[in-house]
Structure 1
Amino acid sequence: MTAFTSAVSSNWSFPTSVRFGNGRIAELADIVRELGARRPLVVTDDGLKTLFPVQRTLEVLKAGGLEAGFFHNVKPNPTGRNVDEGVTFLKQGGHDLVVAIGGGSALDAAKAIALMATQTIAMWDLEDIGDNWKRADTSGLIPVIAIPTTAGTGSELGRASVITNEAEKRKVIVFHPRMMPDVVLMDPELTIGLPAHITAATGMDALSHALEAYCAPSFHPMAEGIALNALLLIKTWLPRAVADGSNIEARAQMLIASGMGCVALQKGLGAIHALAHPLGALHDTHHGLLNAVLMPYVLTFNAPVLEDKLALLARFLDLPTHDSAAVVNWIVELRKQLNIPATLPGIGLTAIDEDRVAAMGESDPCAGGNPIRLDRDNLRTILRAAIAG
């Protein structure tokens, strides 16, 4: 499995309209106008506000004759307060479109801001439970252009945002089918300056989406095929992107893989995310890093019911042997290669309330997509393995 299509400039939809290619940020002002907007609001996180991708975005809008607002009060794990403040900023500035730029945090916050700007109900009323999404008013939604600067969450192609409810210390998945951005600008050049450790952590996030989607027991053959190809792309290109951040082909292929992982995850997620969500909410830890640490422990726990599926994956990835152990070993070795610690204490989590995390994980929407039914005892077993190593 060594032949790949070169990541060349192109347009596609699935169903989101994607403009992919180096330097395509230059088209942003034209896209804003195509969507009938005149006063865009650029939303990013505080860590990105002075860096090249965001400054280039603001420059392109200004050169295109558009007066853009700029909101950057977004935490690495975005909160309900961040969204509320963004909605107020958007309304006060009379903005008619959101330009979401950044990693998953910025994109999730921006999508939530655009959705909630036209709602009369609370954001938490749109938590991804049952048919809550039908409560939203979709009569005057604010359009969104999403510009990813990391290859991780794939949120630019997603229909949900993960937002922390600070009062409950809980990560909430806010969902609506219309949250999917109207246009995605995938410009690999905007990811060149990403540090190696962030490239690694976000890349492992993309891997977690594709892997859990592939392993989820639900039937969605299209998503499963997309997940498989995303896994192959990540296996090939993530180490190269981390080793040489200026490798534009690796950056491009990882952007593609990240988006594919997000598309695939509609098939389901599992224990990796069911545990990462409460751990992230309680400890404010990077989501991709949590997923990377938890991944082999969850896969080992699920392996007894996934042997045939993981054997197929091992063959597809051309691993040394074709069994579940080969897949687990690949992930462990990849994590070492990327200098990611093997345990939760290794990333600074030394005072974990196991019972609370297990209880929160059991009620997380992602728990239902795990191949083995998750209860508190099972989640506690995985968690203790990730603590002890």
Structure 2
Amino acid sequence: MAPSDRGSNESVFTLEATQLKFGNGAVEELGWELNRLGLSKVLVVADPRLREFGITERVTDIIAHAGVAAVVFDDIQVEPTLDSLSRAADFAKSHDVDGFVALGGGSTIDTAKVANLVRTHGGDIIDYVNAPIGGGRKPPSPLRPLIAIPTTSGSGSEATTVAVLDVPQFGTKTGISHRYMRPTLAIVDPELARSTPGGVTASCGLDVVCHAIESYISKPFDARPRPASPDDRPPYQGSNPVADIWSLKAIEFGGLYLRRAVRDGDDLEARGTMMLGATMAGIGFGTAGVHVPHACAYPLASLKHTYTAPGYERHKAFVPHGFSVIVTSPAAFRYSYDAAPEKHIRAAELLTGKPVENPGPKSLPAALVSLMKDTGAPSGLVELGYGEADIPALVAGAMKQQRLLVGAPKPIDASGIEAIMRQSLANW
């Protein structure tokens, strides 16, 4: 068949995945991996809190025993901003390193990605930020090797091409996304998650669940226009049979293990499985993409900073990413139900672990609300500090996320986003 016979829609999807090493004690193999990659000096980008638990020192000792030099940067901001990422990039530019190690949650891994990008290719961070907020510049060649070692079970950043940042002057969050941003290797060690408070585990785990559901029900890859060249094919390509496998398993893990992981930090089976689920969801949504709940989450996390989440009391008031995502998900999935009813019901079955009685538009939202209640999530926008008067600004911020909204399983405009925001003021 000649290309002209295929119509104007996409007919190809790609799957690129970070190498994964998983298991209790997996971090002990970091030195071997650094030697395998031929690295001589690395920049360790670490969550500062991990020093209290001896985790940073443990990792730097492993690196030293492998004969590799290391320098540590731990001026990490939860929910990174352009300013905080610039500090990391400037630090990276001042050191002659041939690789990076990221140790922490999604904010830390995203910081390492951006530091690696600027250290390798120069320029200002805003040059690479997604248009229309930034310049949308593409890195011209691969970055230095990056080994990501997550200590939370949420963002899946160890498996994705994206780094997210807050741009307060635009009243929203945005990101940098390119295939070269994906880490070289993820070392996922459940023992490192013991230090994570239950509230942080809840927010991170709800992010896993939402990532996986959004990617599973996203617009199919072959419903998108064909790109002019492979270089123009977006990282978020739409749902496809391979990404669905990863996403479905992550949804199942969320239903089976998230409640347990929140209740007991020493439940290594639950915390480890949620960490694995985060990476699996990262592979799924890193290929298929996320859409409406994440587009709504970005202004929710940026416009106001008055909410103090359980587990995050030591930080300045802010809305953790997982909570900003989950509060609009029941309304978002009620909206998208008729685009793919069978997928919505399948997701609800996996979250509840049983067949859905009287399946319909409320089935998946009901399963999500039950999980939110059981894990201590905020009930809606009002609990996060927002009210009716804030909705126009929230809608405007969400509509800036066209890179995400284009992947929604059915078209959505400002009036649709407004309806979702209003329905999400209180979910119970």
Would you say same fold, with TM above 0.5? yes
Give the share of equivalent positions with the same residue, in percent.
Answer: 29
Q: How does 1:305-324 map to 2 (within 5 A)?
A: 305-315=339-349, 317-321=353-357, 322-324=359-361
| Cα distance in 2 between the residues matched to 1:26 and 1:308 | 43
Q: Aligned residue for 1:332?
A: 369
Q: Aligned residue for 1:252?
A: 272
CA contact (8 A) 2:128 2:136 kept: yes
Q: Shift in Å at residue 339 of structure 1?
A: 1.5
| Cα distance in 1 between the residues matched to 2:89 and 2:27 | 25
Q: Shift in Å at residue 308 of structure 1?
A: 2.8
Q: Shift in Å at residue 373 of structure 1?
A: 1.8
- Out of 102, 126, 129, the position equivalent to 1:124 is 126
Q: Shift in Å at residue 237 of structure 1?
A: 1.1
| Cα distance in 2 between the residues matched to 1:351 and 1:122 | 37
Taking structure 2 as the reference length, what is the TM-score of the superposition? Answer: 0.82
| Cα distance in 2 between the residues matched to 1:170 and 1:325 | 29
Evaluate the alpha carbon distance shift between residue 264 and residue 129 of structure 1 in structure 2; reply closer, same or farther with a 3 A threshold: farther
1:295 aligned onto 2:333 = no
Evaluate the alpha carbon distance shift between residue 144 and residue 244 of structure 1 in structure 2; reply closer, same or farther with a 3 A threshold: same
Q: How does 1:183-332 map to 2 (within 5 A)?
A: 183-219=185-221, 220-265=240-285, 266-283=287-304, 284-315=318-349, 317-321=353-357, 322-332=359-369
CA contact (8 A) 2:379 2:426 kept: no
| Cα distance in 1 between the residues matched to 2:389 and 2:188 | 38
Q: How does 1:1-389 map to 2 (within 5 A)?
A: 15-128=17-130, 135-138=138-141, 141-219=143-221, 220-265=240-285, 266-283=287-304, 284-315=318-349, 317-321=353-357, 322-349=359-386, 353-364=390-401, 365-389=403-427
SS at match of 1:345: coil
Taking structure 1 as the reference length, what is the TM-score of the superposition? Answer: 0.89
Q: Shift in Å at residue 15 of structure 1?
A: 3.2
SS at match of 2:170: coil
| Cα distance in 2 between the residues matched to 1:351 and 1:40 | 48
Q: Shift in Å at residue 214 of structure 1?
A: 1.1
Q: Shift in Å at residue 137 of structure 1?
A: 2.9
CA contact (8 A) 2:203 2:322 kept: yes
Write out per-residue CA displacement over residues 17-56 of structure 1, whole angstroms, 9 at most, x where no aligned residue: 2111111211212222222212211112344443343332
SS at match of 1:231: helix
| Cα distance in 1 between the residues matched to 2:20 and 2:413 | 39
CA contact (8 A) 1:43 1:101 kept: yes
Unaligned runs of at least 5 residues, structure 1: 1-12
CA contact (8 A) 1:42 1:101 kept: yes
SS at match of 2:147: strand
CA contact (8 A) 1:133 1:176 kept: no
Unaligned runs of at least 5 residues, structure 2: 1-14, 222-239, 305-317
CA contact (8 A) 1:49 1:72 kept: no
Q: Shift in Å at residue 376 of structure 1?
A: 1.4
SS at match of 1:387: coil
Paired AA for residue 299 in structure 1: F
Kindly tell me the number of residue pairs found equivalent between the two proteins.
Answer: 375
Write out per-residue CA displacement over residues 102-123 of structure 1, whole angstroms, 9 at most, x where no aligned residue: 1111111111111111223332
| Cα distance in 2 between the residues matched to 1:119 and 1:61 | 25
Paired AA for residue 116 in structure 1: V
Evaluate the alpha carbon distance shift between residue 211 and residue 95 of structure 1 in structure 2; reply closer, same or farther with a 3 A threshold: same
Evaluate the alpha carbon distance shift between residue 29 and residue 43 of structure 1 in structure 2; reply closer, same or farther with a 3 A threshold: same
Write out per-residue CA displacement over residues 127-153 of structure 1, whole angstroms, 9 at most, x where no aligned residue: 3459x77732326x2210100111101
